[in-house]
Structures are given as structure tokens and as C-alpha cells.
């Protein structure tokens, strides 16, 4: 009986760790490799931290870009637009921002990287729970 109890505890803990892992999106944006990680998977209504790694062609972190995260819901009849824009701050080798998702459903996220007068971006969609 003890073995079964230990097994169940380990199994449930393992599921929690898998569920707690963030949502990762890897994409190319021009010459940059971008890794965007939302802390929660799936994202939730309310505050969701996002970290963004930007690396150049030689795989070195880019620390001197302006990174902006825009997020919005697709338009729906009879509803006002939902969305916002956040400037990401560079710290500890990554850019970071907090997205405040106001309702459940699909959200379009665009990460814009501006450096040297040139802007590159990645886009992806998440479903807030």
C-alpha cells in the first residue's frame, strides 16, 4: 500500500511539473533567433509574464534592441477591441514584460524587435483559460 501511495504522489507531482512548464515559441525574425516563453501554459486571464531571448546570427544575445510586445483578441461582433502594448525590459540576458489578458479566448501576440532603424517581428496565438 505504501508503494502505491508513493507512486501516486510521484505521478501527480510529475504531472504538475509538466503542466507548470511555460509555453515556448521559437521563431526567426529576420537575422534574429527569438525564443518567447510565457510563464503559464496555458496562459490565464490576468497577468502572464513573458520572457524573450533575442540572439544574433552568431548566437550571441542582443541586449541593445527595443523590444515591444503587442497583444490583442481577434475582433468579435458587438464587442470593443481588447489589447495592449508593453515595452519589454532587458535584464538577466532576456527581455521581460507582463501581459494582462482581460478575458478567456484566443489572443494574437506580436513581438517586435527594433534595432538600427530596422524592425523585425514574430507572431503567434495563445488561448487564455
Separation CA 3–CA 8 (nearest Å): 9
All structural domains of the chain, each given as residue ranges with its CATH number in brackets, are 22-128 (2.60.40.3340)
Decide: 105 and 127 in contact? Cβ < 8 Å: yes
Cis peptide before 42, with omega less than 30 degrees from 0?
A: yes
Instruction: For the chain, report the end-to-end CA distance as a whole number of angstroms.
Output: 37
Question: Which pLDDT value is given to residue 47?
Answer: 97
Separation CA 81–CA 15 (nearest Å): 36
Question: Which pLDDT value is given to residue 109?
Answer: 98
Separation CA 61–CA 65 (nearest Å): 10
Q: What is the pLDDT along the chain (129 residues), one digit of tens a residue?
A: 666 444 444 444 444 444 457 999 999 999 999 999 999 999 999 999 999 999 999 999 999 999 999 999 988 888 887 899 999 999 999 999 999 999 999 999 999 999 999 999 999 999 999
Question: Which pLDDT value is given to residue 2?
Answer: 61
* 13 grid coordinates: 507531482
Amino acid at each position: 500500500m505504501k508503494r502505491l501511495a508513493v507512486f501516486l504522489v510521484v505521478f501527480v507531482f510529475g504531472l504538475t511539473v509538466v503542466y507548470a512548464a511555460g509555453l515556448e515559441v521559437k521563431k526567426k525574425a529576420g537575422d534574429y533567433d527569438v525564443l518567447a516563453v510565457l510563464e503559464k501554459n496555458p496562459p490565464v486571464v490576468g497577468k502572464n509574464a513573458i520572457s524573450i531571448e533575442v540572439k544574433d546570427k552568431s548566437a550571441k544575445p542582443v541586449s541593445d534592441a527595443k523590444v515591444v510586445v503587442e497583444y490583442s483578441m481577434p475582433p468579435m461582433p458587438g464587442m470593443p477591441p481588447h489589447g495592449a502594448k508593453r515595452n519589454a525590459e532587458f535584464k538577466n540576458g532576456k527581455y521581460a514584460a507582463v501581459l494582462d489578458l482581460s478575458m478567456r479566448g484566443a489572443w494574437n501576440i506580436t513581438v517586435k524587435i527594433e534595432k538600427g532603424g530596422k524592425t523585425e517581428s514574430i507572431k503567434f496565438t495563445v488561448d487564455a483559460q
